[in-house]
Structure 1
Amino acid sequence: MTETPDDDARHNAKMAKKKAARDKIMATKTAEKGLVIVHTGKGKGKSSAAFGMIFRCIAHEMPCAVVQFIKGGMSTGERDLILAHFSDACRFHTMGEGFTWETQDRARDKEMAHSAWEQAKALIRDPEIRMVLLDEINIALRYDYLDVDEVVRFLRDEKPATTHVVLTGRNAKDALIEAADLVTEMELVKHPFRSGVKAQAGVEF
């Protein structure tokens, strides 16, 4: 279809009107606060998106930290990169020993989850740290290794006002979703695992 000068003019007028409306909305958004951010859902990308924010913090020279609740000793690109090049900017703690179906030891998993939560609380309380990623904490909450009410209460009452906390993992509990400022649910539409394709470096880890 051939566009005419009239088409361009209508488009420009439409975009100018949209920009004016958006500028008016944005002018009212002046507050800043530390956010509680939840990434959940069955789709891929929850931790990947969270690590994207961690790397943004590193780029902005904002001290940050990661606590991994479930993932154990396996090498991941994010962890290897941070430990090799950005350990001064991002504190990294892998506290889990693998996925629950691999450990098959509920008592040990619960003990490790509590240790990870204590580490997480110390990092969140540190006023110098601007963002803390609690990777796969939702899994620990799902299996009741941690008390969700305690986690929500801590985030509400003890998190510094300017600190962001990101919590990832599928099946986020309702109480956490209600308490959060920003919640994203990753929806599974299609995944290569169902076609027999294994997890691959650069995509999953």
Structure 2
Amino acid sequence: MENKNERTGLIHIYCGDGKGKTTAAIGAAIRAAGRGFRVLVLRLLKTNDSGEVNALQNIPEIHVLPCVHSFGFSWNMTPEQKEKAAVYYSEQMENAWKMALETDENGTPAFDLLVMDEAIGACRQGFICEERLLELLRTRPASLEVILTGRGPSEALLNAADYVTEMALRRHPYERGIGAREGIEY
């Protein structure tokens, strides 16, 4: 069995217009935690009002960074709100990376897997700097696994990834007027 501290960490992208990007990332986080990996979850563009946050907070190997500010949907934001969101989400990303890179006195990494939910959307909206994210991905410790989710990744992000999985929308209940349901979509 491979030692998790000596393994090669890879970069995953879960993207597309279909449902399931966050679900896939959370599934991978739970699988990793089930094998004793320490997982850090950063959620961008979302609030803490989601079922997976409640569940993940009960798994000792998983640390979910709190989302203390909600800015609403980007298409409804004023320029001032967008500016505040960019500052907040950039700080959140930097804090997550700082935490992910910490080690103990023996040099053991604090985390084995970093999930950055909606990082791709945050880049696309200009809330986090894609060049900075790419730099962080290039300079991460060799053993750190990273998962990014969101719609519309750039070619640069796609090229940085080892895994790219696209969720394709074929049908969605929203088309029939059925809105997001607690426990299923959030």
Query: What TM-score results when the alignment is normalised by the length of structure 2?
Result: 0.85
The structure with more radius of gyration: 1
Q: 1:190 aligns with which of 164, 171, 178?
A: 171
- In structure 2, distance between residues paired with 1:144 and 1:196: 30
2:92 is aligned with 1:116: yes
How many equivalent residue pairs? Answer: 171
1:22-171 aligned at under 5 Å gives the runs 32-73=7-48, 75-83=49-57, 85-86=58-59, 88-95=60-67, 97=70, 98-104=72-78, 105-126=81-102, 127-157=109-139, 159-171=140-152
Cα deviation per residue 1:98-139 (whole Å; 9 max; x = unaligned)? 432355411111111111111221133131311110011111
Asked if 2 retains the 8 angstrom alpha-carbon contact of 1:100 and 1:109, the reply is: no
Larger RCO of the pair (alpha carbons < 8 Å, separation 6+): 2
Asked if 2 retains the 8 angstrom alpha-carbon contact of 1:71 and 1:99, the reply is: no
Asked if 1 retains the 8 angstrom alpha-carbon contact of 2:100 and 2:110, the reply is: no
Higher helix share: 1
- In structure 2, distance between residues paired with 1:199 and 1:144: 26
Structure 2's unaligned 5+ residue stretches are 1-5, 103-108
- In structure 2, distance between residues paired with 1:76 and 1:144: 24
Asked if 2 retains the 8 angstrom alpha-carbon contact of 1:71 and 1:94, the reply is: no
Corresponding residue SS for 1:94: coil
Cα deviation per residue 1:32-64 (whole Å; 9 max; x = unaligned)? 410111111111100000000011112111110
Structure 1's unaligned 5+ residue stretches are 1-30
Query: What is the root-mean-square deviation of aligned Cα atoms in Å?
Result: 1.7
Corresponding residue SS for 2:41: strand
Percentage of pairs with the same residue: 29
Q: Which amino acid aligns with 1:173?
A: S
Asked if 1 retains the 8 angstrom alpha-carbon contact of 2:38 and 2:112, the reply is: yes
- In structure 2, distance between residues paired with 1:38 and 1:124: 18
- In structure 1, distance between residues paired with 2:13 and 2:38: 20
Query: What TM-score results when the alignment is normalised by the length of structure 1?
Result: 0.78
